[in-house]
Amino acid sequence: MTTNLMQITHDLAIGGLQQVVVNICRAIDRENFKVSVLCLRALGELVPDVQSLGIKVFSLPQKERGADYLSFLKVARILRQEKIDVIHTHNTQPFVDGTLGALFSGVKTIVHTDHARNFPDKRRYMFAEHMMSHFAYRVVGVSDHTSANLVKYEKIYPKKVVTIANGIDGSRYQIRIDRGAKRKELGIMSNGPVIGLGVRLTEQKGITYLLQAMPQVIKCFPDITLVVAGEGTLKKELQDEAFHLGIDKSVLFLGSRLDVPELLKLFDLYVLPSLWEGLPMVLLEAMAAGCPIIATDVGGVSTVIEDKKNGVLVAPRNPKLLGDNIVRLLSENGLREEYVKNSLQKFKDKFSSDIMTRQYEKFYLRKN
């Protein structure tokens, strides 16, 4: 018998959480599950990826002003209409509205994933999630660090909390590109190294510290280019900072991109200077693409990167240390190749979307 499963998310914009939803949609056993997606706030750039799989995407009608405190009733209506058996919610609002909607519509199985944040969160959010956890079959953290925070700060019953590492479809990143043509397309005129990252431009990602490290890096590699792909609330502030640091001619702010696999094949180094993380999808993408990595040792990052084995870990908020390691790794081709080889093997062993989705399927069916 086919199980009707609905993924409930804020949106399908470009982001790590949304990539998890899309990857589950791609990898789910379609013989046993009929999957759909419900977006509570907006749709987003990844909607065509989901619809191309023949999967329905629903969105809630939005109030013109203010919060919609009865949105869970709209969720319940859709759950009844689609005869949903299982919901999988992602982060706070989907957990609350999805769970209340499930209770009002008779859905019996609720699986929730917390994609990590900076704990302690707002008290009302943590209290709401604590209450909703009583109705969930399982509450998933994307790293052991995240799972521990759910128990510590939200007081969720430890036996309900499990860790499932994020996973992606590695085949999308194992491509060949014409690097010269890609440079030309992006307007990179120099022949120097290209480093970069693709994230939301928010405080969490610590991009200011990477910008502050760049003058030191440019002294050693005058023709280097830093590529920053993504949108976010800090974009203008970061652009202004690059100008005031005198590095604006060496930094490209590309905005949101749908060609991330090609960018990763162009980068000589992926640098993620985050202040907090769960298990960043962007690192899995870089691993799958064969791009060497420097990242800050925060949250679940060390689950993915083992320092000086398949990449480099540094302390957050330390531009000097970040710059030192960028220079060192760009100077040592053999070391970068060793890290790439080890990363690809680790990715295949632990972080494929098939591995992630099979674990979730057991929870959907209450087999684990």
Separation of alpha carbons 287 and 206, rounded Å: 20
Q: Which fold has domain 3-169+352-364?
A: Rossmann fold (3.40.50)
Instruction: Please identify, in words, the CATH class of the domain defined by 170-350.
Output: alpha beta
Separation of alpha carbons 309 and 338, rounded Å: 8
- Tallying the residues shown for the chain, one arrives at 368
pLDDT in tens, 123-134: 999 999 999 999
The sign one gets for the Cα dihedral 125, 127, 131, 134 is positive
Average pLDDT along the chain: 96
Report the 10 Å Cβ neighbour count for 26.
Answer: 19
Q: The whole model's pTM is what?
A: 0.86
pLDDT in tens, 103-112: 999 999 999 9
DSSP state of 119: S
Residues 6+ apart with CB under 8 A from 301: 272, 274, 277, 279, 280, 283, 295, 313
Domains 3-169+352-364 and 170-350 agree in fold:
yes
pLDDT of residue 116: 87
Tokens of 205: 């990602």
Task: Give residue limits of the domains in the chain.
Answer: 3-169+352-364, 170-350
Paired strand residues for 229: 198, 255
pLDDT of residue 15: 87
pLDDT in tens, 298-350: 999 999 999 999 999 999 999 999 999 999 999 999 999 999 999 999 999 99
